[in-house]
Amino acid sequence: MCHSGPRAGIHIDKDSFRSPAGGRTKGIGMTKIFIMYYKTGEEFKEVSGYDLEQGWYPRVTKILEIKAKPALYRFYGELSSFDEGEQIKEKSASEGTLIHEAAEQIFAGVSPIVDPSIQPSIDALNLFLERNNIRVDKEYIEKRVTHFGERYSGTLDALAMIDGKFGVLDIKTSQSIYRDYNLQTAAYMGALEKEFKNLQTRWILRVDQAKECVKCGASLRQKGGRDKVRAGFGKGDPRCEHEWSDMKGIVELKEFPYWQNDYKAFLAAKKLWEWENDYWLRQVGYL
Ligand SMILES: [Zn+2]
């Protein structure tokens, strides 16, 4: 018997693919795509959420897959095949994971063993932390947070105190800070606001590395085993015969204090995700 209902399709599992080493991949443009056919409710639950003592809760990053990511279509469109895209992203994701894990170890007060490939990023991060007043609550690194009322769960990177303000800190290894990140961090804020009355704000800490053209200022990223040149749009000259510097670490910290509208958008996205996964959510007794 062939039964209809469960949907086949492309499921983009951002920020949540666990590598064999148990690490976590991070960042847009390092997205893991599964062609996912759920066979059972248990499989759906495993892939889409966390089983907690209090019950099963869908994961923030899984919910946010419902939002289209147009940049991803462009990325695939520029390649010769879907598989090539998968390979690039997998490699890029493992590089992002290395940076992400080293950064969390530094926050936890541990000196990480740094893979030479990410040394520029980690040097830049250490320098940044020497120069800026950032304190991280060690008990809240890679911490599971759950909103029992709105029924979702997620894993935040850190809670931090920066320049006297207390908030959610999320680490990204992407080439820019994307607006989409605000949906994710707003979900964490919503889950934490009752527990932490002094929770004020949220930040994205971007840690990355690139070469820079000494002539025009264009940048060259080497992620996922390929060179990606960014020139034009106000930075660098596409007609320049570039001359590249050594690899330089990049650290960018950006605060996003106003989270209420993002939070409304997250809850709307969750509603749409529930609609899309209606069949399975009923199967597992969530709806
Ligand atoms: Zn140049």
Q: Is the pLDDT of residue 188 over 70?
A: yes
Percent of the chain with pLDDT over 70: 87
Angstrom distance (rounded) from CA 169 to CA 173? 13
| CA 247–ligand 1 middle distance (angstroms) | 15
What is the reported pLDDT for 222? 86
Considering only CA atoms, give the Rg of the chain.
20
Q: What is the rounded average pLDDT for all residues in the chain?
A: 88
Cα-to-centroid distance, 227 and ligand 1 (Å): 14
155 by Cβ neighbours in 10 Å (0-12 / 13-18 / 19+) ranks as middle
Helices (H), the chain: 41-48, 60-63, 70-77, 82-107, 119-131, 181-192, 260-276, 278-283
Coil vs helix vs strand at 269: helix
* pTM, full prediction: 0.85
User: Per-residue pLDDT tens for 235-247?
Assistant: 899 999 999 999 9
Tens-place pLDDT, residues 1-35: 344 444 444 444 444 433 333 334 444 444 444 44
Q: How far is the CA of 225 from the centre of ligand 1 (A)?
A: 21
- Cα of 175 from ligand 1 centre, angstroms: 18
Is-contact 249 206, C-beta < 8 A? Answer: no
Average pLDDT, stretch 29-50?
77
Instruction: Compute the average pLDDT of residues 187-197.
Output: 96
Alpha-carbon distance of 183 to 60, in angstroms, equals 9
According to the model, what pLDDT value does residue 36 have? 59
Give every CB contact of residue 222 below 8 A, 6+ residues apart in sequence.
210, 211, 228, 247
Q: What is the mean pLDDT of residues 220-233?
A: 86
In CATH terms, is domain 71-266 a member of 3.90.120?
Answer: no
Which helix (H) or strand (E) is 55 found in, with range?
strand 55-58
CA of 233 from ligand 1 middle (Å) equals: 13
Looking at the chain, the whole-number percentage of residues with pLDDT higher than 90 is: 73
Separation of CA 125 and ligand 1 centre (Å): 26
| Token pair for 3 | 């039964």
pLDDT tens digit sequence for 249-282: 999 999 999 999 999 999 999 999 999 999 999 9
How many angstroms separate the alpha carbon of residue 244 from the centre of ligand 1?
A: 8
The domain locations on the chain are: 71-266
